[in-house]
Structure 1
Amino acid sequence: MRDPLRGRRILVVEDEMMVAMMLQDMLDDLGCLVVGPAASVDEALSMIKMQPLEAAVLDVNLSGQMSYPVADALIAHDVPFVFSTGYASNRLQEGYRAFPALQKPYHVSELRDALMEVCATAISRAARAPSPATTDVAA
């Protein structure tokens, strides 16, 4: 059976270099193609515009700047993501608490499970969307 994460392009948004390197290693072990890491909101927003992505792991606090604008851009581009945070998930801003969040430090199995969940949800949502070929167009 094919690993569902193998070959997926995953954006890493993390400002702590050691954490970013460990996350890259975990994603490599899962067979993912790592994009980044982006260490700032601006860098992450640029990467979202420039590269096709299939998911992202998004640190909530990037050197004191909250990463919610990055989450919004990912949502706008239909890219599923998982928050990564040292905070309790109930400390996320109100509108973002419904998104999956990994509590640092986390194990590779927790990362795999979270990414598989968000990717499966995105695939399921895309499968339910009407295709342009089957949508009626008024003349």
Structure 2
Amino acid sequence: MSQPLSGRNILIVEDESLVAMLLETILEDMGCTTVGPASSVEEGLALIENGSALDGALLDVNVAGVKIFPIAEALAARDVPFVFSTGYGEGGLPDEWKGRPTLQKPFSEAAVQDALMTALGMARV
């Protein structure tokens, strides 16, 4: 059975190392190549600006006490789809970002796949 997300390059921005490692494992199990993980907004922006080929991103809303929105803006400007992850769910997002795919922590592998497929405009299998 082929993985629908196989071969996709997915940026991870997450400051909690255990969560970042979990996301890397989940993405690798889905056949994705991980970019990062970046543990700060600055590191995430550097990965985007250095021209990394990105098909999508998983963004922790609060990274080391800094909101992720500069990275969301940079990705949106490049038409790179992304998923927010937060312990507060979509309700914790400012109005301008509501409606974007959002993972509520803690999340499952299936939830990560569904959110990424939604962000990438892919039909569920």
TM-score category of the 2 structures, normalised to the smaller one: over 0.9
TM, length-normalised to structure 1 = 0.83
Q: Does 1:70 align with 2:68?
A: no
User: What 5-or-longer segments of structure 1 have no aligned partner?
Assistant: 122-139
Deviation per CA, 1:49-98, whole angstroms, max 9, x where unpaired? 12010000000000110000000000001100000101131121110111
Distance 1:3 1:107 in 2: 17
2:115 partner SS: helix
Distance 2:94 2:87 in 1: 14
User: What 5-or-longer segments of structure 2 have no aligned partner?
Assistant: none
Distance 1:62 1:47 in 2: 15
**C-alpha contact 2:89 2:103 (8 A) present in aligned 1:** no
Q: Which amino acid aligns with 1:26?
A: I
Q: Which amino acid aligns with 2:96?
A: G
Distance 1:117 1:9 in 2: 16
2:37 partner SS: strand
Distance 1:9 1:88 in 2: 24
Identity of aligned residues (%): 50
Count of residue pairs the alignment pairs up: 121
Q: Report what 2:14 is aligned to.
A: 14
Q: Which amino acid aligns with 1:77?
A: R
Q: Report what 2:87 is aligned to.
A: 86
Q: Report what 1:25 is aligned to.
A: 25
Distance 2:94 2:60 in 1: 13
2:53 partner SS: coil
TM, length-normalised to structure 2 = 0.92
Distance 1:11 1:28 in 2: 12
Q: Which amino acid aligns with 2:57?
A: A
Distance 2:99 2:74 in 1: 16
**C-alpha contact 2:12 2:57 (8 A) present in aligned 1:** yes
Moved over 6 A (4+): none
1:120 partner SS: coil
2:120 partner SS: helix
Q: Which has the larger radius of gyration?
A: 1
